[in-house]
Structure 1
Amino acid sequence: MKILDYKNSLVNSYKQNKRTFIFYLVLRGLVILTLIRRIFTRNYESAAICVLSLLLFLLPAFLQKQMKIEFPPLFQAIIFGFIYAAEILGEVDHYYVIIPGWDTMLHTINGFLCAAIGFSLIYLLNRGSKHFNLSPFYLTLVAFCFSMTVGVIWEFFEFTMDQFFALDMQKDFIVQKIGSVTLDPNNSGMPFVIRDITDTVINTADGKTYAVNGGYLDIGIIDTMKDLMVNLVGAVVFSIVGYSTLKFSKKSAIADNLMIKPVDKSED
């Protein structure tokens, strides 16, 4: 695709909603400034994330052009903000570590957005086909499952990166209580519960010792389940909105501003 196509798509977005276009330009400018700063400090990994973010900013325009669909201005703004919050603030500026709940907030939004995308795609297929007619409940159920599937696939990705590259994408948690069948001294198959853990000592084969202060180090399980639970919350919220809009034929400002629409051919 020619770069001019992206430019035309962005210009169309400007005509539709000036605030969204300005928001896009501001975020893009901030990413470029961050990229320059990271290059000067020779932090090339963060610079690569900045480049990836700039490419992701073009994704809505690419999809609109290729699939002949239209993202509502508010939906585009949320996508741009989500990319900036996840990649630049979260990864580059380490908000995932600095600000408690940052990751949880983004996973909740992700569940909401993915449900909106799944709902919109199935709705377009349902409306445009003579042989494909889903009830509002089934359409909403498919959208909900789509959102949860995306969430699960992402957790698979995080687990794979942690296993092969030790990136710790599934963030660790310090816990003070564990239940383990493996630690049962009687091998009875019953969980052996250890409470009030104050610290853990890790010994390696080369003689090194590492101390975990405050409790036992949970590797990824709590983070994964938390992410999936908040993804569930986001998916349920939009599913309720989408179902109510279809079932009761009520106008919903949320649904209208977040549902993908086919391009009006009269505007071509």
Structure 2
Amino acid sequence: MKANSGLKKNRTKIQMVLSTLVILSVVRQFFLGNYHNMFLGILTLILFMVPQFLDRKLSVTIPPGLETVILIFIFSAEILGEINAFYVKIPIWDTILHTTNGFLMAAIGFALIDLFNRSDRFSIKMSPYFVAFFAFCFSMTVGVMWEFFEFSMDWFFGMDMQKDWIVPAINSVKLNPTGANVPIHVDVQSLVVNGETWNLGGYLDIGIVDTMKDLIVNFIGAVVFSVIGILYLRNRGKGKLAASLIPQVRSKQEEEHSSRDQ
């Protein structure tokens, strides 16, 4: 109990610090006249309240450890990534966040299926492996849907959410002069854009590499959480690491006790 209380206090401190930084960022963007970034800052403050909203409305207890990860993820994506352009300044920033996203979405999927698994309305009780598999599939589905969104924004609105990559070589059967189904390896040093030669050390890939990289790291994050979920269900309540990261469904008695405390 003392350890959990300490985590809650640290979570509260972290949320206060991050909220203060977001407010300062909103004020700064206002004076700079950048109202789009100011809106992103306000959106960040709203997203900070989502975990507590879900805690109250869905009777799901989000552990302090997981809530802290969620808060840092939102801050890193919106304030650091978007407003301060960390996506451009730090090449691996997008990779880190997509890995974390895979982890968090698996946590949400885990909580959803565990809600049904522990409900008295359902006579079928699912094994820990199936629950973890559902969490993994949920995370990957969200990851794929996000890539659909990025592609749509680039295609219809002229954005660059699927970041370009410089690819130094290609392997293509189309370049085989014999017409055989054997790929020819070609090292690419430069490319021509509107008649102008750009010596980039490769050709410009416009999203395929970025999309596959994002899905791969999402896969890694989902697998990591799924393993933690299996260990948690097999030894429910015993693992400190899992308990600090796994959302828990409150029983009716716990809900009534929580209501009386409020």
- Under a length normalisation based on structure 2, what TM-score does the superposition of the two structures give? 0.87
Q: What is the aligned partner in structure 2 of residue 131 from structure 1?
A: 123
Deviation, structure 1 residue 249: 5.3
How far 1:244 moved relative to its partner? 2.3
The Cα offsets for residues 150-201 of structure 1, whole Å up to 9 and x where unpaired, read as 11111111111111112111111001112345x5375937465452211111
One of 60, 64, 70 as aligned partner of 2:51: 60
Amino acid paired to 1:43: N
What letter matches 2:149 in structure 1? F
Q: Would the alpha carbon gap of residues 40 and 262 (structure 1) be closer, same or farther in structure 2, given more than 3 Å must change?
A: same
Change (3 A) 1:60 1:210: farther
Give secondary structure in 1 for the equivalent of 2:124: coil
Q: Tell me the alpha carbon deviations over residues 184-237 of structure 1, each in whole angstroms, 9 at most, x when there is no partner.
A: 37593746545221111112xxxx747362210011111111111111111111
* Residues in 1 aligned to 2:192 and 2:133: alpha-carbon distance in whole angstroms: 47
Does the CA contact (< 8 Å) of 2:176 and 2:182 recur in 1? Answer: no
Residue type of the partner of 2:47? L
Mapping 1:107-256, distance limit 5 Å = 107-129=98-120, 130-181=122-173, 183-184=174-175, 186=177, 188=179, 190=181, 193-203=184-194, 209=196, 211=198, 213-247=200-234, 251-256=238-243
TM-score normalized with structure 1 length = 0.86
Structure 1 counterpart SS, 2:192: strand
Residue deviations 1:231-258 (CA, integer Å, cap 9, x gap): 1111111111211232355722222111
How far does residue 30 in structure 1 lie from its aligned partner after superposition?
0.6
1:38 aligns with 2:25: no
In 2, Cα distance between the equivalents of 1:57 and 1:24?
8
Tell me, which stretches of 5 or more residues in structure 1 are unaligned?
Answer: 1-12
How many pairs are equivalent?
251
For the aligned residue pairs, the C-alpha RMSD in angstroms reads: 2.3
CA contact (8 A) 1:121 1:260 kept: no
| Contact 2:7/2:65 (8 A) holds in 1 | no
Percent same amino acid at aligned positions?
Answer: 46
Q: Which residue in the other structure is 1:3 paired with?
A: none
1:104 to 95, 109, 119: 95
What secondary structure sits across from 1:152 in the alignment? helix
